[in-house]
Structure 1
C-alpha cells in the first residue's frame, strides 16, 4: 500500500480537490483578494485614475469619433489629464470639482494666449517666462491654487507651439471647456473623495474642549477632558489640517479663522497648564473660578456660532466677550498688585507665571470670540477694547490680496525661487524646441515641468527615473505602433486600459512607471488623431531627454540647494523681526509713541514657515538642526504681544520702571539679534544663554501701591500693564533659552 493510500483523509497534499483547475482558481482568488486589499489602501489614487480615464476617454471619443474634430479631441483630453492627473488639487470630490470650475476663466485665457503667442518663437518664449512665473507664484494664495498650478501651466504649453493656427481657437476653447466640465462632473459624482471636517468644525470642537476644561474648577485633574483638549489642539496644528480646508488664502474670513485657531490653541495650552500644575487636590481662588466660568461661556458661545450654517451674523446675534472682559479687567489689576508684592521671593517668576495663566487664558477666550465674530462678518470688532488685535479688519479685500502677493516677492522666498526656476526652465525649453524645430516640442516642456525639483539632487534622481521609464515605454509603444499600425479600432479599445494602468501605477509605483505609462498613453492617443509610425516612440524619448537636460541645468544654476541654504537666512530674518517687534511694542507700552509693523513680522514669519516646510519635504543628509519650530513659536509670541499690549489700558508712569522695562526689552532684543547674526553668517557662536529677567532690579524701582491710596486703582492698571509686558518678555526669553540649548 502506497503512503498516499494509507494516509488519513485530512492529511497530505490537497491537490485532489479540484486538481490543477481548482488550484488555479484558488490562486486567482488569492490574487484578486490581494489586489482588492491593496486598492482599498489606495482608494484615492485608484478613484482619481478612474475619474481621469472616464472623463478623458468620454471627451476624446465624443470629439474624435462623434464630431470628427481632431483638435477639439486633443484639447479636451489634455485638459482632463492636466487638471486631473498632472495637477494635485487637494480636497474632497466637491472641493476638487469647485476648484476646476473656478479655474475655467483662467484656463480660457491661457489657451487663448498660448494660441496667439505661438506666431513667433520669441513671443512664445517671453510669454512662457511671464506666464510660467505668474502661474507658479500664484500658489502663494492657497493650497488649491498651488495644487492646480502644474495643470494650468500645461494649458498654456499645449497651444503655444507651431503650427500657428488661430483659426482653430474655437475648437481649442471648446475642447478645454468640455474637458473641464466632464472632469468636474466625474470628480463630484464618480467615486468622489469623501468630505473632510471643515475648519470651522475643527475650531468648534477645540472651543468645546476648552469649555469643558474651564467647567472643571477644583479636585483632581480632569484626565478625560485634558486628553480631548490635547487632541483638539493637535488637530488644529497647521501640519495636521488637511490642505483643502486650511485657512491659507488672504481673505478676511481666512485670516480670522487662522487668528481664532491660534487663540484657541493657546487657550487650551493655558488651561492645560492651569489644571496640571495645581496639584491633585487643587482649589481655585474665587477670582479664578469666576474667570473660568466666563471662559466656559465665551468658548461655548463661539462653538455654537461656528457650528451654525449661516455665514453672517445678524444684529445682536453671536457670541459675546463683554461679560468676560468686564470680569477680567478688575481681576487683572488686583492680581497684578498682589503679584508685585510677592515678587521679592519669586525672582524666577514661577508664581507670576502661575498667577497669570488664567488671565492669559481669558485673553485668548476674548480673542477667540472676537475672531469668530469677524469670521462671520462683524467688522465692528475693531471698536472693542481688544480691537487693536484685529488691525487687519480695517483693510479691504484688495489690500489683503496685495499684501499676500507682495509678501513672497523677494529672492529670499522659496516660493519666489521655485517660480523663477520653473519659469526659466520652461522658457529655455520653449526656446530650444522652437530653434531646433522639434516635431513634438511640447513634450520637451512637459518633461521640464514634471521633472524639475527644488534641489539639484532631487532633479538628478527624477531625471534618471524618468529616462528609464520613458525608454521602456518607448520600446513598448514602438512595438504597439508597428503591430497595430493604422487600425484605430484597436487603439480606441486599448486607450482606457492603458490610461487606467498608467494613472494608477504612476502615483503608486513612482516616476519611472508614470513616465513609461504616459508614453504609452501619448502613443495610443496620437495614433488616433493623425497617421503615425513606430518612429513616434523614439521622438518621445528624445524630447524627454532634451527636457530633462534643461530641467537639470536649471536645477544646477538656480538655487541648487533648495530650501537648505535659505532656511537659516529666513530664520535669521525672523530673529531680526522679533527683535524689531520687541522694540516697537516696548516703545508703545512705555512711551505710547511709535507704531507697530505687523506686516514685517508676518512676512518674516511666513518666509520662515515656507522655508521650513519645503526643507522638511526635501531629501537631506541626517544632521543636527536647531529646534526651528520653537523659533516659529517665538515669532508667534512676539506677534501676540505686538497685537495685544499697545492697546491695553494704563501707562508706565514711573520713569525708573519704564527704564527697567526698556532695558529688559533691549537685552532680549539683543539676544535675538545675536542669534540672527549667528544664523545669517554661520560664524561664531550666539551669546551666552539668555539670563532671566532681573526682577530684583524691577522691585528696587517699582513704587509701592498703598492699599487705601486714592491712586490705587490707577496704579493697579499700570501694574497690570507692566506685568503683562514682563510675562511677554519672559515667554520670549524662555523660547530663546530652548533654542540656545539646541545650537
Structure 2
C-alpha cells in the first residue's frame, strides 16, 4: 500500500503509475490468510472474543487497502490516461440526467441567467437604448446565485462606475483637446481594466472598465464625460433586471438547495446500503450492478454542483463551509461502505447463509441504522420529523458475531457465513459512529437552510 500511495503521488508529477493489480492481489491474499488465521485460532480453542477483536483490528487495514486501490485508479485517470469513448459518453449522459431529473443548482443557475438575458435584450430593444449591449452586460455582471448577493454586487457596480465616471470624466475634460495625451492614456487604461478584473476586486474593476470606456469613446468620437452617464444609466437598467430575476427565481441561492441535495444523497444511500447488507447477510442473491448505486452517484453529482455554488457565494455562510464539507465527505464515506458491501458479497463471495440466526440479529440493527439515516435525510429536506429515534446496539452486534464464531468453532462449514456476519457487523458499527457525528452538522445545515434569503 505504501508503494502504491507513493506511486499515486508520483504519477501526478509524470512518474510511473501505481500497480493497482498488485494491490488487488495483495488484498485477496490477505483475505485468505485472515480466514485461515481465524479458523486455526478457533480450532485451537482460543477465546472467540479474542478472535473477534483480531478480525475487527484487521478490518481497518482492509478498508485502507481498498481506498488505496481506488485512489491509485483515480490518480492514473487524473494524470491523463486515455479514457474509453463509451465511458466518456456514459459520463456525459449521466451528468445530463443528474441535472435534469431533479432540482439542481446547475439547472437553476442556467435558467436564471437565460431568463435574465432574455429580459435584458427585450427591454434594451423595446426602449431603444443607444448602447443596448451595456444593459445586457450589466445584467451579466451583477447577477449572482442569491438575491442578496445580486443586491450587494449592484451596490459595488454602481459605486465603481461612479468612481470611474468621475476620474474618467475629469481626464476627458482635461485631455479632450490633446489627442496625443488621450492616446498615451489608452494602453494604460486597457491594461488597468484587464488587470483590475482579476486582482483588485469587483468595485475597482468596474471603475477601471468605465475609465477605459470613456477614453475609447473619446478617441472614436469626442464625447466628453457624458458617455459615462450613459454607461451608468444602462448599468442601472441591467442591474434592476438582475435584481428582479434574482428575487423571483430561487432568491435563497445554494444553501437550501445544498441541504436538499444532500438529503437526496443520504436517502438514495439508504436504499443502496439496504441492498448491500441484504446481499452480505444472505437475504438476497449477490451479483450484478445495483441500479441503486447509479441513483446515489447522480444525487452526489447534484450535491457536488450545489456545494461548488455554495462555496462561491459571497456571504453564503448561513452555515459554515466546514459543515458543508463534512456532510458531503461523509456521504462519500457511506458510499464507500456500500461499495465494499457489494465487493464482500460479489467478488469475494461472502454471504451469511450458514449463520442465519446471527445474520437476522445483525439485520435488526441494520434496520435501526437505516432508519437513523432516513431521519437525517428528512431533516435535510426540511420535512417534519420526530426527535425520538433508536440507537444501534453495539452489544447486540457483538453477540451476533460471537455466536457465529462459536458455531464456526464446532462446524467448519459455517466459516464464510460467520465472516460475512462479522464484516457486516463491522460496517454497521462504523456507519453508526458516522451517523452520530452527523447529527450536529445536519442540525446546523437545517438551521441555515431555514433562514430567509435576506439573511
TM range (shorter): 0.7 to 0.9
Deviation at 1:510, TM superposition (A): 3.2
Deviation at 1:307, TM superposition (A): 5.0
Alpha-carbon contact 2:150-2:242 (below 8 Å) kept: yes
Indicate the larger mover: 527-536 or 646-655. 527-536
Identify the residue that residue 449 of structure 2 maps to in structure 1.
none
Query: Are 1:608 and 2:303 counterparts?
Result: yes
Whole-angstrom CA distance in 2 between matches of 1:456 and 1:377: 40
Whole-angstrom CA distance in 2 between matches of 1:480 and 1:377: 52
User: Superposition pairs for residues 577-588 of structure 1, below 5 Å?
Assistant: 577-588=268-279
Identify the residue that residue 619 of structure 1 maps to in structure 2.
315
Identify the residue that residue 358 of structure 1 maps to in structure 2.
61
Deviation at 1:444, TM superposition (A): 0.8
Identify the residue that residue 698 of structure 1 maps to in structure 2.
400
Indicate the larger mover: 512-521 or 486-495. 486-495
Deviation at 1:662, TM superposition (A): 3.1
| Deviations 1:285-326 (CA, angstroms, capped at 9, x unpaired) | xxxxxxxxxx34544555565554579x9xxx8863354134
Deviation at 1:488, TM superposition (A): 4.4
Deviation at 1:565, TM superposition (A): 2.2
Deviation at 1:729, TM superposition (A): 2.1
Identify the residue that residue 424 of structure 1 maps to in structure 2.
115
The one of 207, 221, 232 equivalent to 1:541 is: 232
The one of 260, 267, 292 equivalent to 1:569 is: 260
Q: Unaligned regions of 5+ residues in structure 2, if any? A: 444-455
| Deviations 1:564-602 (CA, angstroms, capped at 9, x unpaired) | 222321222122122111112123332225742322112
Identify the residue that residue 183 of structure 2 maps to in structure 1.
492
User: Superposition pairs for residues 262-661 of structure 1, below 5 Å?
Assistant: 295-300=1-6, 302=8, 307-308=13-14, 320-321=22-23, 323-334=25-36, 353-371=56-74, 395-409=86-100, 412-485=103-176, 488-505=179-196, 507-530=198-221, 532-589=223-280, 590=282, 591-593=284-286, 595-596=289-290, 597-616=292-311, 617-620=313-316, 627-646=323-342, 647=346, 648-654=348-354, 655-661=356-362
Secondary structure at the aligned position of 2:100 is classed as coil
Deviation at 1:437, TM superposition (A): 1.1
Whole-angstrom CA distance in 1 between matches of 2:205 and 2:436: 48
Provide closer, same or farther for how the CA distance between residues 414 and 376 of structure 1 changes in structure 2, counting only shifts above 3 A.
closer
Identify the residue that residue 719 of structure 1 maps to in structure 2.
418
Whole-angstrom CA distance in 1 between matches of 2:81 and 2:223: 63
Secondary structure at the aligned position of 2:381 is classed as helix
Identify the residue that residue 739 of structure 1 maps to in structure 2.
438
Whole-angstrom CA distance in 1 between matches of 2:322 and 2:4: 38
Indicate the larger mover: 432-441 or 681-690. 681-690
Alpha-carbon contact 1:579-1:673 (below 8 Å) kept: yes
| Deviations 1:474-510 (CA, angstroms, capped at 9, x unpaired) | 2333344444447544332111222333444555543
Per chain length, whose mean CA-contact separation is higher, i.e. which structure has more relative contact order (CA < 8 Å, sep 6+)? 2
**TM-score (ref. length: structure 2):** 0.80
The one of 673, 696, 703 equivalent to 2:374 is: 673
Aligned residues: 428
Provide closer, same or farther for how the CA distance between residues 453 and 330 of structure 1 changes in structure 2, counting only shifts above 3 A.
same
Deviation at 1:562, TM superposition (A): 0.7
Whole-angstrom CA distance in 1 between matches of 2:53 and 2:402: 19
Whole-angstrom CA distance in 2 between matches of 1:573 and 1:326: 34
Whole-angstrom CA distance in 2 between matches of 1:473 and 1:465: 12
Deviation at 1:704, TM superposition (A): 3.5
Alpha-carbon contact 1:474-1:519 (below 8 Å) kept: yes
For the pair shown, the structure with the greater C-alpha radius of gyration is: 1
Indicate the structure with greater helix content.
Answer: 2
Alpha-carbon contact 2:186-2:215 (below 8 Å) kept: yes
| Deviations 1:130-178 (CA, angstroms, capped at 9, x unpaired) | xxxxxxxxxxxxxxxxxxxxxxxxxxxxxxxxxxxxxxxxxxxxxxxxx
Deviation at 1:709, TM superposition (A): 5.5
Identify the residue that residue 184 of structure 1 maps to in structure 2.
none
Identify the residue that residue 389 of structure 2 maps to in structure 1.
688
Q: Unaligned regions of 5+ residues in structure 1, if any? A: 1-294, 380-391
User: Superposition pairs for residues 234-245 of structure 1, below 5 Å?
Assistant: none
Alpha-carbon contact 2:7-2:15 (below 8 Å) kept: no
